[in-house]
Structure 1
């Protein structure tokens, strides 16, 4: 692990307790949806910034679902169809209004 990454992880501590492992469960679900849905947009070849924007916009639209190791997930409050709709909307938004001068 490089020093910059280690410094970032070290910054996510409170009273010596590391918190970097606590994740938004929707992060993985959005990535999986992006992989499935992006091929639907034939001819669209998002660049790195586009992908980051689609990912961030999707996550910002969904409710946060933070989990830690050992968390028990009794149910998923966000249906897969909702995540897919949010990702499609984010792709269209970024495609129509990219965050850079093309």
Structure 2
């Protein structure tokens, strides 16, 4: 996808929760040692978790004063996503 409109490049605007989810996925998956996941499962868990969290879009130069969603909330949503994907793989 081309992230350009009206001559402006929007590549630098990102959902702050993307990086947080990516960083916490290994930790939460370690809580499910019997789960034999594949790439599609991980992608589904990632997308489902982001869909359960409020979007937090920021620009590259945005100053973030506080984070309304805690890391523990991200972990809870990741756990819920893992359980969902395990129950219904390849949704």
Query: Is the TM-score greater than 0.5?
Result: yes
- Residue of structure 1 in register with 2:55 after alignment: 64
Distance apart, 1:45 and its partner CA: 1.8
Higher Rg = 1
Shift of 1:20: 1.5
Partner of 1:48: 39
List structure 1 segments (4+ residues) > 3 angstroms apart after TM superposition.
none
User: Alignment length, in residue pairs?
Assistant: 91
Matched, 1:39 2:33: no
Match of 2:74 in 1: 83
* Unaligned 5+ runs, structure 1: 1-7
Q: Which has the higher helix share?
A: 1
Question: Under a length normalisation based on structure 2, what TM-score does the superposition of the two structures give?
Answer: 0.95
For structure 2, list consecutive stretches of 5 or more residues without a partner in the other structure: none
